[in-house]
């Protein structure tokens, strides 16, 4: 990931932000969550007001988004007045989100296999319980139970 290698000390070039936003969105963040995270990544420690100014989102939107980013482990909250936040390094954020996505995929695979097995067993029962009608090439019909 060339763009990831270009990130040093939490700073990224402005032209890389859309690329990172798309990746973060693919990993499960909404575009607004990605905007807040990336704005905070550029700012270092910042208040909701500074994040709002940098991201172009309203302060109330920033405050609505922060609990999810905190819960995901992507943002840390400092005990200051006013509240300030700090984003984890981008590489760490990618690792956290990728791990979560892998866990979701494993769980989805497990559910799919269970559903497939249930479907297979129901299909097998239907064949065993149903009448089979054989039609010969000559048009004669034979019934089997």
Residue 23 sits in a domain whose CATH number is 1.10.10.10
Mean pLDDT of 2-30: 68
The number of folded domains in the chain is 2
DSSP per residue, 70-89: HHHTSEEEE--SS-EEEEPP
Q: Please count the other Cβ atoms lying within 10 Å of the Cβ belonging to residue 9.
A: 7
What does each C-alpha distance from 28 to 12, 99, 113, 114 come to in angstroms? 21, 11, 24, 25
**Per-residue pLDDT, 100:** 95
Mean pLDDT of 45-51: 96
CB 62 within 8 A of CB 48: yes
pLDDT at 89 over 80: yes
Residue 92: name the closest of 24, 2, 43 by CA.
24
In degrees and rounded to multiples of 5, residue 144 shows phi and psi of: -130, 145
**Per-residue pLDDT, 121:** 78
Does 43 lie in the same domain as 13? yes
Residue 43 makes CB contacts below 8 A (sequence gap 6+) with: 50, 51, 54
**Per-residue pLDDT, 122:** 74
Q: Which of 90, 119, 135 is the last residue of a domain?
A: 90
Q: Is 1 helix (H, G, I), strand (E, B) or coil?
A: coil
pLDDT at 82 over 60: yes
pLDDT at 7 over 70: no
Separation of alpha carbons 93 and 20, rounded Å: 11
pLDDT tens, position by position, 64-81: 999 999 999 999 999 889
pLDDT tens, position by position, 130-139: 565 666 666 5
- The residue segments making up the domain with residue 60 are 2-90
Does 60 lie in the same domain as 123? no
Mean pLDDT of 9-33: 80
Residue 120: pLDDT band (50, 70, 90) is: confident
Does 36 lie in the same domain as 85? yes
Does 108 lie in the same domain as 80? no
Burial of 80 (0-12, 13-18, 19+ CB in 10 A): exposed
**Per-residue pLDDT, 127:** 54
Q: Which of 51, 71, 90 is the last residue of a domain?
A: 90
Q: Which residue has the higher pLDDT, 17 or 89?
A: 89
């Amino acid at each position: 990931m060339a763009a990831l290698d270009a990130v040093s000390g939490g700073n990224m070039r402005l032209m890389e932000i859309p690329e990172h936003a798309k990746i973060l969105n693919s990993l499960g963040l909404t575009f607004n969550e990605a905007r807040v995270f990336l704005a905070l990544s550029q700012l270092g420690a910042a208040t909701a007001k500074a994040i709002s100014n940098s991201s172009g989102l309203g302060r109330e939107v920033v405050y609505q988004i922060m609990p999810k980013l905190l819960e995901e482990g992507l943002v840390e909250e400092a005990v200051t007045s006013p509240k300030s936040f700090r984003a984890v390094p981008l590489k760490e954020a990618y690792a956290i989100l990728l791990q979560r996505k892998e866990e979701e995929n494993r769980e989805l695979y497990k559910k799919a296999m269970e559903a497939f097995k249930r479907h297979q067993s129901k299909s097998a029962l239907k064949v065993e319980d149903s009448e089979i009608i054989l039609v010969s090439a000559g048009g004669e019909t034979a019934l089997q139970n």
